[in-house]
Structures are given as C-alpha cells and as structure tokens.
Amino acid sequence: MSINTMKSINHSNNTVWHEASVTRDRREKLNQHKSVIVWFTGLSGSGKSTLAHAVEEQLHQQQCRTYVFDGDNVRHGLCADLGFSNSDRSENIRRIGEMAKLFIDAGVIALTAFISPFKADRDIVKNLVNPEDFIEIYCQCDLGICEERDVKGLYKKARAGEIEDFTGISSPYEEPESADLVIRTDTLSLEDSIQAVLNLLHERKIIS
C-alpha cells in the first residue's frame, strides 16, 4: 500500500499527494529489511527509552536503518508547543504517528518510546498504517518500581502536587488490551528484554 492510501485523521485542503518513483518497497530492498513502527508504551520509569535505544543499537549493528523517537527529545522540537493536558497528549501522539508513518515509507524501522497513556490515541496511530506495520510493545512495570527509578524526580513532584496530569498519579494509564508483546521490565533483564523484541522482529520477518 502506498503511503497516500493509508488512513489519516485529516489532510490539508487543496493538496494532492505526490507519488515518488522511489517507493517504500524499493527502499526496503535496498536496506535488506522491512520497515515498521515499533511502539513502546508504559509508565514513566518503565524502561521504554532504555529498551528502545538498546534495541536500536542491536539493529544498527546488524546494518538496519533505524530511528528512535524519544518522548523527551520530541518535546524539545516538534512538540515543544504542547503541554501535558489530555488534549495536548493526544496531539503529541498524533504528530508522532504521522511522523513515524513517513519513516516507514522511507524504509526505516521507527522505534518510539512514549507513555501514550490513552488507548484511543494509540489506536489512532495503529489506524494510520496497515496492521502489519505497527508493533505495540507494553513495558509493564509496577508503579512502585517506576517511582524507585525516578531519576528525574517527576513522581516526587507529582506526589507533592507540583506536576498536574501526571500519568500513574493524577492521570490514568490505560493498559494495552492486546499488545503484540508484553515485557515485564521490573523483573526481566535488559538483555532478555532486547532479545524478546528481536525475536518478535524475526518472527514478523521484519529482519532476517
């Protein structure tokens, strides 16, 4: 399916998608692997970013074309104008979904590390692409462990009422109901977590 036929929320008026001669299929053949969105979701402190970057390192060593969309990094640029209200969180995820869609058209394995607490928002991203183009990985971690790992001091501030709408404290996290992979990041080692993701990518024939 070409990128212009994928589902989208809306589009600008008076614009027509330009079909390029260099297609996703040709880019994938050049890269010698499939492209896909690998969406890591979970509470703050659950290890999403750590796992996403560690998986990218392994894929890079295998000569794969990759890119990690990290929640904090994205908010320094593309989503710098957004806060953490429910509507801003939804817009943040919408923008990332649209960007990740472009990256898979570019033949890249796009790994994203976002809390993405609301099922409806994650479903919007899923519906932007074909079912096989979206792999949802739930980094499941006990809230107490996430708070113990609180290297940024965010949970402490949220408990003190200094941060509003903080997921897991004053704002809900809706667990995925049918994630492609659930990783207990509070009990599984990083090495085993990485291997579980790589095994899934092999099973899905994203990488050989």
Strands, DSSP E only, in 42-129? 66-70, 109-113
Q: Which residues of 89-121 are buried (b: 16+ CB within 10 A; e: fewer)?
A: bbbbbbebbebbbebbbbbbbbbbbbbbbbeeb
Q: Which helix (H) or strand (E) covers residue 163, if one does?
A: none
Q: Which of 35, 44, 116, 193 is catalytic?
A: 116
- Using the 8-state DSSP alphabet, how is residue 37 labeled? E
| Strand 66-70 relative to strand 109-113, pairing | parallel
Contact (Cβ atoms closer than 8 angstroms) between residue 146 and residue 44: yes
Q: Does the annotation mark 87 as catalytic?
A: no
| Residues that are catalytic | 116
